[in-house]
Amino acid sequence: MLVPGLNVCSGGTQFEAPVDSRLCFAPSGDLYLITAVFTRTSVDAAILVSKSTDGGLHWGVPTILVETTDPRDAFAIPSITPDPTYARFVYAIWDGSDLGHRGPAMFTRTTDAGRTWEPVRTIVRTDPQDYVQFSQILVLPDGTLIDAYELVNVKDSGHGIQQTFSLQVVRSTDRGQTWSSPVQAVTMLPLYGGPDGNSLVTDPDTGHLVLDPINPSFAVDRLKGILYAVWEDGRFSNFQYNDIALSMSADGGSAWSERIRVNQTPFNIAPADRQAFLPTVAVAADGTVGVSYYDFRFNDLNPGLLTDYWLVRCSSTAAATVPANWSSEARLTDTSFGFESAPDVLGAYFLAAYHGLGTAATDFLALFPQTQGTDPRSIFFRRVGP
């Protein structure tokens, strides 16, 4: 189904390319789509929101939340979240620019089911050399809003540019009118150094890079209010390769648990085949936590780079902070696929930057890309029950 008006190819008159699009359903059944858009032939960028009241069959005219023609400014990675108890409240957030400085988290909301949106505000402002990525609004059972995000600190050590990565949160107890100061959640220790500062994932056989943005993922248990975060981390292997780390907070983001390794990639294979990457976390209605990720455990010396996609779960009756409780693993790929058939972008194999992991009651719903035959990028869906 074509969403009209987002760019000139879909009936719009202004923008050329939508990127980083996301969807959400409000409790009323209304469907919202948020996307960043830009033009290649002139300086023009914006964040758009579209709404459908019939499950995506028909869409209204897109609303421009913010727009710029300043070549120093840009917008990226928008996210949209409905309030689960107030259908007319929907929250939007994205990575923005501030007078040419890449960095802040920009926020707006609608209080009338998308008819109007409030003026855009910066709710996280960084030092000039730092920047925010992957902001996501989560709603606790008491209505408190949590903006969880990755903060990248950039400094010149005198021996080159160094980056450090951490997860932080800010809170709002009045549905987004005011926000707290940032709270440091966890320090991320990924191996990085790929194109444009991405995670350092490589083809175990050839050393060719795999394009892997350092994407954390966040989720909330809507019954208990527990927050979960996952990311790639090298600390568990003494920085030989990245595993998937998890931490949780039971007090609204003030205190976070010890980091644990949750991917089930076996240890009795070559270290380079143990690389796990691109994690996503979700929480089912009964409190079961699921984490999806890729790894190379079935790779061999033949050309192709055999890769698989996995879902590991921790039961709602078990403590998610205990590594042994993450033992329920499901293989989401029927057979291993060849990552070397993926498009080569910036000198690295690239499937996609974002993946979908949702839930329906106690089932997990995974949406993920893989290569298939001569197709360098196909999208697959898998539903996994209890």
Most trustworthy range by pLDDT among 70-74, 126-130, 149-153, 297-301: 297-301
Q: What is the pTM of this model?
A: 0.93
Same domain, 131 and 227: no
Determine the average pLDDT of the residues in 159-187.
91
Same domain, 358 and 383: yes
- Three-class SS of the chain: CCCCCCCHHHCCCCCCEEEEEEEEECCCCCEEEEEEEECCCCCCEEEEEEEECCCCCCCCCCEEEEEECCCCCCCEEEEEEECCCCCCCEEEEEEEEECCEEEEEEEEEECCCCCCCCCCEEEECCCCCCEEEEEEEEECCCCCEEEEEEEEEEEECCCCEEEEEEEEEEEECCCCCCCCCCEEEEEECCCECCHHHCECEECCCCCCEECCCCCCEEEECCCCCCEEEEEEECHHHCCCCCEEEEEEECCCCCCCCCCEECCCCCCCCCHHHHCEEEEEEEECCCCCEEEEEEECCCCCCCCCCEEEEEEEEECCCCCCCCHHHCCEEEECCCCCEEHHHCCEECCEECCCCCCEEEEECCEEEEEEEEEECCEEEEEEEEEECC
Pairing of strands 121-124, 348-349: unpaired
> Mean pLDDT lowest for which of 16-20, 216-220, 238-242, 284-288?
16-20
For residue 2, pLDDT beyond 70: yes
Domain CATH number, residue 171: 2.120.10.10
- Residue 109's Cα: distance from chain center in Å? 20
Same domain, 42 and 127: yes
Same domain, 305 and 364: yes
Domain final position from 128, 157, 188: 188
The pLDDT confidence band at residue 312, using thresholds 50, 70 and 90, is very high
Same domain, 65 and 133: yes
Domain final position from 159, 188, 217: 188
Domain final position from 134, 155, 188: 188
Q: What is the model's pLDDT at position 197?
A: 61
Dihedral class, residue 240 (left if φ above 0, else alpha if ψ from -120 to 50, else beta): alpha
Contact (CB, 8 A) for 146 and 138: yes
The neighbour count for residue 141, using CB atoms within 10 Å, is 13
Q: Which domain holds residue 274?
A: 194-386
Q: Per the structure block, which two tokens stand in for 115?
A: 């008819």
Q: What is the model's pLDDT at position 161?
A: 65
Same domain, 340 and 355: yes
Of 8 and 238, which is predicted with more confidence? 238
For residue 189, pLDDT beyond 90: yes
Q: Per the structure block, which two tokens stand in for 264?
A: 């089930």
Same domain, 307 and 248: yes
- pLDDT tens digits, 39-56: 877 778 899 999 999 999
Same domain, 130 and 87: yes
Same domain, 151 and 259: no
> Mean pLDDT lowest for which of 153-162, 204-213, 347-356?
153-162
Same domain, 297 and 182: no
Distance (Å, whole) CA 212 – CA 233:
13
Number of domains in the chain: 2
For residue 10, pLDDT beyond 90: no
CA angle 185, 190, 191 (to 5 degrees): 165
Distance (Å, whole) CA 152 – CA 166:
7
Same domain, 313 and 366: yes
Same domain, 133 and 207: no
